[in-house]
Structure 1
Amino acid sequence: MSPSRYKGDLVAGALLVNESWKIARLMVGGLEKNELMEKVIRDNLLQKRSPSSTKRQASLIVNRLMTLPKPFWSMISDGSHDQATQALFCAAIKYSPILGDFVSTVVAGNMRVFKKELTHAQWDSYFEERAAIDPTLDSWSESTRGKVRQISFLILSQAGVIDSTRARNILPFHLLPTIRFMLIEHSEEYILSCLEVFE
């Protein structure tokens, strides 16, 4: 069986803007992954209650950021809050296609028929459709499935795609010109295809 393109480690956190800013600064500074992880855990830079929580969240952030070219790291560490948020949204989409594919199919579908609300039932139906294509998703526990759904809606809320995790109404979302330019310049076709519905 080929490896799944879908990862369940999304459960470790949503956009994590403040935490990602700290890690992006270290990555821009040239620290290698092992050195970075050691420093983050030793100094408890993410201010978590246990080293295991720090390691899990830091690993997610590093893995997300490493899917994007280095200029995005600088955007996260030195750009505005809105630029950092959108760059992290792009990283989450690329690293976790379970989120990206939801945006490009379900969110896009709602927008085409002018349906504002995203429902839990839509996510569950989407997940079952994906599981039919990728049977490895069947191995996810119910708690993991629920947490991935929860975090995915939280990411959409933090990115400004929906108004809240409770109402889940789709908002007018505009990709910042700086982010769009970088995505085009670095040929980030998957991310662009997920976000083209907002154009």
Structure 2
Amino acid sequence: MLQYTSILKARPFLYLELKKAISLKIQGFSELDIKNKSLEENIFSVNTETRKKEIASAVINRIQVLDDYILDKIVNGSLQTSKQLTIYSILKTDRLFFEFMKEVYREKILLKDYSIDDKDFNIFFRRKAEQSEKVASWQDYTYYKLKQVYKRILSEAGFIKNTKNEVKIIPQIIEEEVKNHLIDIGDRVYLEVMLGEM
């Protein structure tokens, strides 16, 4: 099982970066090539060596959990499908984000309550801190930052509309073919989380 980490606060949605890396992979470049291209050619257009390494590492990590069908859909599918599958790649590589989506986002949809407020985030992080010494050891700032990043990821992916006062859930419609593929490969749980289904 994946460990809890707060790494997502430095590696948010990275949609365009993931798409660029997948395009290279489809062209036959290896993960090492992609990492080298990030360092030597700055393909992700960032300012520091550290950031080049971080982004390359994050997108490669996500690519490794995706099959060829999904890689192709992220690059060549519709914008909505492509972004939904980017969320799927984060759900598969970040345990805390997955549990947030399962225990807060999905629950809200099941209860037909389409807004998420700060209280929901606070309760979620408090519960995780009670369950995990690692999460309990984090500073308040880490929780604050993760909350901001979760909102940003979901907003950029079109899963929420983030206004000044509240976060509104935008229920997702996922292509039938993509749904069937996720079910076939045994990943129904991620589908249920994204769609808010039982």
- Do the aligned partners of 1:12 and 1:60 also contact (CA within 8 Å) in 2? no
Tell me, in whole angstroms, the C-alpha distance in 1 between the residues paired with 2:116 and 2:50. Answer: 34
Q: TM-score, normalised by structure 1?
A: 0.88
Q: Distance in 1 between matches of 2:65 and 2:21?
A: 14
- Is the CA contact (8 Å cut-off) linking 1:40 and 1:58 kept in structure 2? yes
Equivalent pair of 1:26/1:36 in contact (CA under 8 Å)? yes
Q: Which residues of structure 1 form unaligned runs of 5+?
A: none
Indicate conservation of the 8 Å contact 1:15/1:85, yes or no. Answer: no
In angstroms, what is the RMSD of aligned CA positions? Answer: 2.1
Greater CA drift, 79-88 or 158-167 = 158-167
The CA deviation at 1:26 is 1.6
TM-score, structure 2 normalization: 0.88
For 1:87 and 1:186, the matched residues in 2 are separated by 14
2:155–2:161 CA contact under 8 A, matched in 1: yes
- Name the amino acid aligned to 2:109: M
What SS does the aligned partner of 2:167 have?
Answer: coil
Identity of aligned residues (%): 21
* Structure 1 residue identity aligned to 2:125: F
Partners of 1:134 and 1:68 in 2: CA distance: 28
Q: In structure 1, how many angstroms separate the alpha carbons of the residues matched to 2:130 and 2:93?
A: 21
Task: Provide the C-alpha distance between the structure 2 equivalents of 1:161 and 1:198, rounded to a whole number of angstroms.
Answer: 15
Q: Would you say 1:149 and 2:147 are equivalent positions?
A: yes
Match of 2:38 in 1: 40
Residues 1:114 and 2:102 aligned together: no
Q: Does 1:164 align with 2:162?
A: yes
TM-aligned CA distance change 1:59 to 1:165, over 3 Å? farther
What displacement does 1:87 show? 0.9
Change (3 A) 1:127 1:4: farther
**Number of residue equivalences:** 197
SS across alignment from 1:163: strand
Deviation track 1:137-171 (CA, whole Å, cap 9, x = no partner) reads 12223332222211111122122221126431112
Rounded to whole Å, the distance in 1 between the matches of 2:47 and 2:23 is: 22
Matches within 5 A, 1:59-138: 59-138=57-136
Matched, 1:177 2:160: no
Please list every run of at least 4 consecutive aligned residues from structure 1 whose deviation after the TM superposition is greater than 3 angstroms. Answer: none
Distance 1:198 1:4 in 2: 23
CA contact (8 A) 2:2 2:93 kept: no
- The gaps in structure 2 that reach 5 residues or longer are none
